[in-house]
């Protein structure tokens, strides 16, 4: 059984829950990604932040990205996958929650991220098609 740990991108970076959305936007830009986990001062995962969240919940709402924090947007418990869970479990979780990326945790510690593309490189073409169709619908 291939596990999440085997296909994940290790050393995922977080944005701190007290970091401003301006800092978060700069980090997203610098990393060339559209989303990243929000981590608390206790290094526990607090949520996920997307570039869309910044636009909709801050900019479009007339709030100031220089003062609004990532933690203010983090919406509770994020959808995650355990490091030793199977690819099938990751696919099932992505389908159920209609997400394209999953933080990988070991206990309560963030150890990596799995993207839809990571799974696609490790499963049959038939399963890839099903995954893309279900997540995108």
Beta strand pairing status for 9-10 and 15-16? unpaired
Kindly report, residue by residue over 78-115, the tens digit of the pLDDT. Answer: 899 999 999 889 988 988 888 888 999 998 888 999 98
Evaluate the CA torsion angle 59, 62, 66, 71 in order and state its sign: negative
Question: Residue range 70-77: average pLDDT?
Answer: 81
* Reported confidence tier of residue 75, pLDDT bands at 50, 70, 90: low
Please, which residues have CB within 8 angstroms of residue 70's CB and are 6 or more apart in sequence? 15, 16, 17, 18, 19, 20, 21, 24, 38, 47, 49
Digit-coded pLDDT (tens) for 7-21: 998 888 899 999 999
Q: Are 55 and 42 in contact (CB under 8 A)?
A: no
Asked if residues 36 and 13 have their Cβ atoms less than 8 Å apart, the reply is: yes
Angstrom distance (rounded) from CA 33 to CA 103: 14
pTM given for the model: 0.82
Give the residue-averaged pLDDT of 119-130. Answer: 75
The owner of tokens 């992505």 is: 94
> Is 126 a residue whose pLDDT tops 90?
no
pLDDT at 6 over 80: yes
Domain definitions of the chain by residue range: 4-136
Q: What fold characterizes domain 4-136?
A: CBS-domain (3.10.580)
Identify the helix (H) or strand (E) that includes residue 111: strand 109-115
136 pLDDT higher than 90: no
Q: What is the pLDDT of residue 137?
A: 59
């Amino acid at each position: 059984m291939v596990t999440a740990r085997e296909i994940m991108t290790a050393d995922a970076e977080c944005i701190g829950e007290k970091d401003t959305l301006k800092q978060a936007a700069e980090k997203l830009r610098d990393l060339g990604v559209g989303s990243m986990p929000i981590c608390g001062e206790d290094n526990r995962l607090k949520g996920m932040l997307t570039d869309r969240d910044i636009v909709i919940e801050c900019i479009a709402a007339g709030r100031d990205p220089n003062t609004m924090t990532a933690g203010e947007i983090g919406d509770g418990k994020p959808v995650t996958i355990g490091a030793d869970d199977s690819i099938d479990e990751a696919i099932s979780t992505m389908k159920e929650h209609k997400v394209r990326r999953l933080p990988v945790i070991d206990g309560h510690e963030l150890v990596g991220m799995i993207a839809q593309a990571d799974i696609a490189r490790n499963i049959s073409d038939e399963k890839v098609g099903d995954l893309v169709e279900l997540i995108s619908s």
